[in-house]
Every structure is written in structure tokens, then in C-alpha cells.
Structure 1
Amino acid sequence: MPAKRKRKAQRLCVAYETSDGEKSEGADLPVVTVWEPQEWQQQLTNIRIMRSKKDAPVDHLGAEHCCDPSAPPKVQRYQILLALMLSSQTKDQVTAGAMQRLLAQGLTVDSILQTDDNTLGKLIYPVGFWRSKVKFIKQTSAILKQRYNGDIPASLAELVALPGVGPKMAHLAMAVAWGTVSGIAVDTHVHRIANRLKWTKRMTKSPEETRAALEEWLPRQLWSEINGLLVGFGQQICLPTHPRCQTCLNQALCPSAQSF
């Protein structure tokens, strides 16, 4: 039986229309451009200027400032995760106060597991949803002791699998505790500001939807910066209600400024 002849690979030729309407072959495939918002670079520069003093609550009360610097790295990572769990729907000042009370008791996986629910509730009150957080903290601490030798997981998937740990907390834990940028951490401030500046192709309905939309176009080297930058901006100027547009350097560039 005669051997099969190899088929010659066909070269893809693309026809395109020239200025005089004639077709030409052999042109390169068109370059697909990634969507990006108008004037976002200038808007970002202005936000950096407005945030240059680093004097927003997040700058000195964020999770990275709520751990004991003298504790072993493993314990610090656990404390950072707990601070992030407490911070959900809670002002930074309230979270910091709760962390101070916990640290005064000696904050480790074992100490939390040995603390009864009633005492733990009194220590973290008045953080938002404190009763649920007591339950989540106990459950997560037990898992960390059983599966991770008292440390926290070093992967996003394992972090979000922990009770009471959402995507924003997990991305921040990866960045702050492990020094790894796994994605953009989007909370209510980032979600609100991204929509006001039209940094998404269309209005997004949730922080997770906003995260996916931002990651489609925002250069990866900016991912680690954007959370702290926009959170502080949202705490000081781009407030949820009655934003201080008159003091904002982006007033003329903001698509939403006229609506306030």
C-alpha cells in the first residue's frame, strides 16, 4: 500500500479592502484592541495626588496595621485574616478597636478556640454582623488548626473556601499576608467609584462583577495599588452620599459629577 503523502500546510491569507476599494491579499490579521475607559490615566493620576498624604482611615487602620509586629509570621498572617473577616461592612476604626481588644487577650488560633462564644462576641462588638462573625471565626480557626497547622492557606481557592471569607478578603489576604497579587480586591468603595468613573463597560451590580470588569483592562502592575487608593479616596472625597465633587481634581473628568 503506497504511503500517504503529507498534506502541505495551507497559509492563511487575509483579504482586506484598500482605500480605492480593491481587495488585497496577505495582510496581517487585525489587531484586537482591549477596551479601556476614556481619560482613566489622568483620573488615576489625580486620585494619586489627592491621596498623596496617606491620611485616610485605611492608611493607618487597615488589616496590615492590625496585627502584632512582634508575633511570629504565621500568627501575624492569622491576625491579618481575622482583621479582614471583621472588616466586612464595618468601618476601619471599629475593626481596629475590635482587633486591639483581641490582641490584648493574646490573639492566636488556640486562644480563639479556647474563648467561649459569649466572650468573643463582647470582644468584637460592635463590628457589623458580629454574631455571625463569632461563628465564622470559630469555624475558620478550627479548620486552620486541623488542616494548616495554625497558618492560613496560601492560595485564593483555599481562602475563599473558609467560612466567612469572601473574594475581597481573600485577595487582600494573598496580597498583605503572602505578598502575592491574585486579583483586584473590590469592596463597596472600589465598586462605587469604578461605576461613577465609568471604569467598567457597563454598570456593574456587585463587587465581584466589578472586579472581573476591571481585571479585563487595568494593567496588572496596578492591581495591588488600586484597592487602597480607591478605598481612601472613597472614605475622604468620593463619599457614598454627598460626594465632595467641588474638592475633587476629577470633577471635570468624572462622568457622574453632574448628577450630584
Structure 2
Amino acid sequence: MSGLKRTVSARTTRLAARASPYNAGVTLFEAQDLEQVTPRRSKRVKLEEDSSERVVKTEEVIDNAVDAKGMVVDEPVASGSKQKAAKSPRKPKPIQQSLVVPHPAPLKWQETYAIIKQMRSRITAPVDTMGCDQAQHKETDPKNRRFATLISLMLSSQTKDEVTDAAVSKLRDALGGSLTVDALIEADDATISEAIAKVGFWRRKTEYIKKTAQRLREDFDSDVPRTVDELCSLPGVGPKMAFLALQVAWNLNVGIGVDVHVHRITNRLGWHKPPTKTPEETRLNLQSWLPTELHPEINHMLVGFGQMICLPVGPRCDLCDLSTAGLCPSAQKVYKSKTRKAVILAPVETTSEAHPQVEIALETEDGKPIAKPILYDMPPLSPEVKSEEAW
């Protein structure tokens, strides 16, 4: 190996004497005429090889080299340098569609599913009249119908269906009577915020839907994308919204939209072993064993069931047929309460006079249930009045 020998340059130093201005008895000496400065250690190194010597000058910062293909290659940076290579934009991670090892189908899931579906046929929940699928009905243009569905989904997170439905209607009125991409882009933020002020995180959603409208016009011909990954690339759109948007807007069955209701109820039923911690884990489990033809309907079915019966707090196990059948491992013993609200158990029927009737289960003030359900004869409703607003 060649040895390394450091070179030290010679220098001539002259000392000049002068009396101290503070004490005449003191003589001060100072250096003058420094002829040559020793080069910095990191700047020059003398390399000896056999009979010849050569001086190699090293730089503190080493430029990036370019390889034969024109690609930039990061060279090692000198010790002590704080320079960092610029990061390239990260591509969105594709949405996972399946598990490597499918989750086994739960025991008696078909029986449980059938009972829930039968109960839902007797219950009118907010999602039935004010869900995301209702936002499109006031639009005529196909693109606007799909866009209204997407906007409704984006506003629905952390918000009740009643509030979301009212916000969509108010936003439509604020934009001139129709939810369009161009109208939303042209509207100022204050107008949008005022219309959706009742939904959760309305400030953030104002920004999200405005940026989404711009992306749709620039990249998707002012229409809703037709893939999950493209939808999830929009600001504020996650997998749940993407799968539901494809089902409602494009009639595409590519996965299950899992929200808090689906996540909560399927875990209460013991369908996940071990219990899932996130809606995405729940979705992948369900998609691995639930028949594909049931994917589009399970969200709507369980959301309504969760809104009316399997509540987050104080579930109505006393009204749930799964408790009676012994199919719910999370069933609770119910104590009668004076503050319990009545739940509609039967669909609207029509008498000979065309007056609707509903069957209602009530409790007396002392907490004892009424043995026989009450049939309540209601006056006719105009087409504009929603069934939920009548009682």
C-alpha cells in the first residue's frame, strides 16, 4: 500500500516590538508578514506511490455522478456534510384487495345474515331515506349524479345521515340548484363552508371537496373515477368511500364499504378471530369469505341495523331476534327504562282508504312492555314528505 505523507509548508514570521499603551514598562510583540498559510487538512493530501508523488485535492462536497444510462447516482458524501439527497414524490400505495390466507367463514353466518336481513325489512332507518345513494336523485345529468354521490360520501364521515343529507341539499342550492364540478370550483370557500357548516370537520371538508373538484376536471374529464386507487388518490377519500362510490355511482361491485357500523356489528357477532382493530382489517376478512353477490348490500343492511337496533351504546338487544335465537355472543341483558324510545318494527302498510299504518312497540311508564303492538293510523303523506319526518 502507498503511504500517506502530509506536507507542511514553510513560512517566515517577523515579530515587531512596541510599548504597551497601558503600561510603559511592558513591551508587546506581534507577528507580521505571514508569507504562506498552511493548507487545510481536508483540502490537500500528498500521496506517495513508489518513486512518484502526486497531490490529490479533495472537495468537502462531492457532486452526484451520472451513470451511462443518464440516471443520477448518489456518491458518498464527505464526512460531516449535512447535505441530503432530494426525495422523489412517493406513489400512493395500492389498496389491498385480498388476504394472503383467507379468514374462515364463521359458524352459522348464513342464519345470522338471514335474520338481520329479515329484521331490516321491518325497519326504516335514516340510511334508507338519507344515505349517499339519495343524493343523486335530484340530478339529471349522469356526471352530476355521480359527483353528487361522491360529495355526499365525502361529507358523511363523522356525521349523521340526517345532517349530511341537509348539507348536500344546502350546498346544491348554494351552487345554483345543481351539484356540478364547475360550479363547485367557481364557488368561493365561504359559500361552501356556510352550506356544509353542520357536518363534522367542515373546514377540512371544504378544502377537500374543492381540491377534489379541481382534480376531477384536470385528470378525469370532470367525472368520478372508476377505480378504487384513483378514487383514493383524491383528497379526503378513503377505501370505504371509494368502494361505496363505485357501487352507487358506477354499479361496480369490487369490494365492501366498511364503516363504523359494519366494523362494530361484525365484531359483536364474533365473525373475526381475532377481533379486528380497523375497518380495513374488517373489510379484508369479510371479502375473503362472504359471497361476492352479498358485497354490495351488506353495508346498507348493517348500517341501518346499527342505527336502529345494534346501537354503539345501549344496543336494543330486547328488540333483536339474534338475542332470542342465541346467535349473538355479545347479547346483553336489558333493563327496562322509561326513557327508551319506540322503534318502528313493521313496514308501512296500506288500508282500503289508502292511509298508512305502522306497528309500534311501546313500553309503559313503569317499564312493562305492552303485550299487543299498537297500530297507529296516519294521515296520507304528500310525495314530498319523507317517511322519517312523519314521526
Q: Scaled by the length of structure 1, what TM-score is found?
A: 0.85
Correspondence 1:215-230 to 2 at 5 A: 215-230=287-302
Per the alignment, in what secondary structure is the counterpart of residue 71 of structure 1? Answer: coil
> CA-atom RMSD, angstroms?
1.6
Q: How high is the sequence identity, in percent, across the aligned residues?
A: 50
Aligned partner of 2:228 in structure 1 is 156
Question: CA offsets, 1:164-215, max 9 Å, x none?
Answer: 1010000000000000011011000000001000111211111111001111
Higher helix share: 1
1:133 to 195, 205, 214: 205
Pair 33,58 (structure 1): closer, same or farther in 2 beyond 3 Å:
closer
Aligned residue for 1:232?
304
Deviates more, 1:214-223 or 1:76-85: 214-223
Shift in CA distance, 39/162, structure 1 to aligned 2, threshold 3 Å: same
Q: CA deviation at 1:34?
A: 6.7
C-alpha distance in structure 2 between counterparts of 1:70 and 1:227, whole Å: 24
Residue type at the aligned position of 1:79: A
Which residue does 2:261 correspond to in 1?
A: 189
CA contact (8 A) 2:135 2:145 kept: no
C-alpha distance in structure 1 between counterparts of 2:306 and 2:102, whole Å: 30
Deviates more, 1:51-60 or 1:143-152: 51-60
State the alpha-carbon separation in 1 of the partners of residues 237 and 168 from structure 2. 17
In structure 2, do the counterparts of structure 1 residues 159 and 259 end up closer, same or farther at CA, with 3 Å as the change threshold?
Answer: farther
Q: Which residue does the alignment assign to 1:254?
A: 328
Deviation at 1:98, TM superposition (A): 0.4
* Match among 37, 42, 45 for residue 106 of structure 2: 37
Pick from 109, 131, 155: which aligns with 1:86? 155
Q: Does structure 2 retain, via aligned residues, the 8 Å contact 1:201–1:213?
A: no
AA partner of residue 213 (structure 1): N
Equivalent position amino acid for 2:296 in 1: S
Q: Give 1:175's aligned residue.
A: 247
| Contact 1:68 1:103 survives alignment (8 Å) | no
Measure how far apart 1:259 and its partner are.
7.7
Q: Does 1:142 align with 2:214?
A: yes
- TM-score w.r.t. length of structure 2: 0.57
Name the residue aligned to 1:208. 280
Q: What is residue 6 of structure 1 aligned with on the other side?
A: none
| CA shift digits 1:1-60 (9 cap, x unpaired) | xxxxxxxxxxxxxxxxxxxxxxxxxxxxxxx99721121111111101110035100011
2:124 matched residue in structure 1: 55
Aligned with residue 144 of structure 2, among 38, 59, 75:
75
Provide the secondary structure at the position in 2 that maps to 1:216. Answer: helix
Contact 1:171-1:182 at 8 Å conserved across structures? yes
1:153 Cα deviation from its structure 2 partner: 0.5
Return the offset for 1:71. 2.0
Unpaired segments ≥5 residues, structure 1: 1-31
In structure 2, distance between residues paired with 1:63 and 1:187: 13
Instruction: Quote the Cα distance in structure 1 between the aligned partners of 2:267 and 2:302.
Output: 12
Is 1:103 aligned with 2:177? no
Answer yes or no: is the 8 Å Cα contact 2:317–2:332 preserved in 1. Answer: no
> Structure 2 vs 1, CA of residues 259 and 131 (structure 1 numbering), >3 Å: closer, same or farther?
farther
In 2: Cα distance, 1:110 partner to 1:149 partner: 11
Partner of 1:66: 135
- Distance in 2 (alpha carbons) for counterparts of 1:173 and 1:248: 30
> Structure 1 residue 66: deviation in Å?
1.3
CA distance in 1, matches of 2:245, 2:103: 29
Greater Cα radius of gyration, structure 1 or 2: 2
Q: Does 1:119 align with 2:166?
A: no
Evaluate the alpha carbon distance shift between residue 152 and residue 34 of structure 1 in structure 2; reply closer, same or farther with a 3 A threshold.
closer
Q: Is the 8 A contact 2:156 2:164 kept in 1?
A: yes
Aligned to 1:29: none
